[in-house]
Amino acid sequence: MSDPDNAQFLYFLSVNMTADRINPVIWMQINKIIMDVFASMAVLVYPLAMFVIMVKSPVKMSYYKYFLGAQVTATTSLDVLFMLDNPTVVYPMLVGYVDGPPSRV
């Protein structure tokens, strides 16, 4: 148990992480990258998801497939909106502002 990597890991676990140790600029850059990756994945999967919901769903799902289609459409639209608008969250408060190309129109 005297492995230096293990000691660093145990130190990392024992540190009391507080909000003042987080660099907000780096955190926002990481958050933006993660949001862009997931939004891109949502746009790529959207046609397949709608095809499966509308065409391949069983007859018993006839009423619910419209709700599923609306939910997938709304979620994908929101992801694209987040990717274009670049929302900025002000940590640790629960406020934010939009700083993307559509906000400069």
pLDDT means over runs of 10, the chain (105 residues): 67 69 78 88 95 92 91 92 79 74 70
Q: What six digits make up the tokens of 25? A: 């600029």
Residue 14 lies in a domain: no
Answer positive or negative: Cα dihedral of 83, 87, 89, 94.
Answer: negative
Residue 2 lies in a domain: no
- For residue 29, the model assigns a pLDDT of 84
Distance CA 76, CA 74 (A): 6
Helix (H, G, I), strand (E, B) or coil at 98: strand
Secondary structure letter of residue 96 according to DSSP: E
> What's the number of CA atoms in the CB half-sphere (13 Å) around residue 52?
7
- Give the range of the structural domain holding residue 32, as residue numbers without chain letter: 23-104
Domain count, the chain: 1
